[in-house]
Each structure stands twice: as C-alpha cells, then as structure tokens.
Amino acid sequence: MDRTQLLLGLAFALFSLGFVGVMIRRNALVMLMFMELMLNGVILSLVTFAERSATLSGAVLVFPVFVVAAAEIAIAIPIVLLVARRRRTLDVGAWSELKG
C-alpha cells in the first residue's frame, strides 16, 4: 500500500466518520463538528490528488474551501445559538415546526 492509497483511505475514513456522526447524533453543535470532519476528509483528498498529479490547482482550491467552511460555521453557530436560546434545547429532533 503506497502513500497515496493510505492518504485516500484516511480521507475516506474521515468523511465516513463525519457522515455517520451527523447521521446518528442529535445535538446540533456536535453535528456541526462532524460536518467539519467531513470537510476535512474532502480537503485531504483534494491535496492528495493535487500532489499526485503534480499540479497546484487542487492545492489552491483548498483555500476557498477553508473560507467557505469558516463562513458557514460563522453563520451556522449563531443560528443554532438563537434557536437553542428560544427552545432551550440543542436536540434537532425538537426543532420540527415545519413538518408536514
């Protein structure tokens, strides 16, 4: 097993861990953290492929992804806080006013 395969396996593991976490946890903050884990898995795969094909574009794409991730979390956390302050819980199962 060479280094590339190892890194891709790590990226897949990170992504899967994050996805399973998002799927099974009901705490909104924890779900956000797992989503960061998924992003990191994706970023790792980007860097790996970039290194392997010896181009810079994949590595450069990492920075916009960071920026978007930071922006996302900066908006998501206040929203979660506001909802939590209102509902006195972080359980996403309790936030279901829009269900049909």
> Residue numbers of the site for another protein (CB under 8 A)?
19, 22-24, 26, 31, 92-93, 95-100
Least separation in angstroms between CB 34 and another protein: 11
Least separation in angstroms between CB 58 and another protein: 20
Nearer to another protein, 25 or 58 (CB): 25
Task: Name 27's bridge partners.
Answer: 91
Helices (H) and strands (E) in the chain, counts: 3, 0
Least separation in angstroms between CB 23 and another protein: 5
Integer Cα distance of 51 and 70 in angstroms? 24
Query: Is the alpha carbon torsion for 19, 9, 69, 65 positive or negative?
Result: negative
Is the distance from CB of 21 to CB of 41 less than 8 angstroms? Answer: no
Least separation in angstroms between CB 11 and another protein: 17
Nearer to another protein, 17 or 59 (CB): 17
Integer Cα distance of 100 and 29 in angstroms? 25
Nearer to another protein, 59 or 89 (CB): 89
Nearer to another protein, 9 or 91 (CB): 91
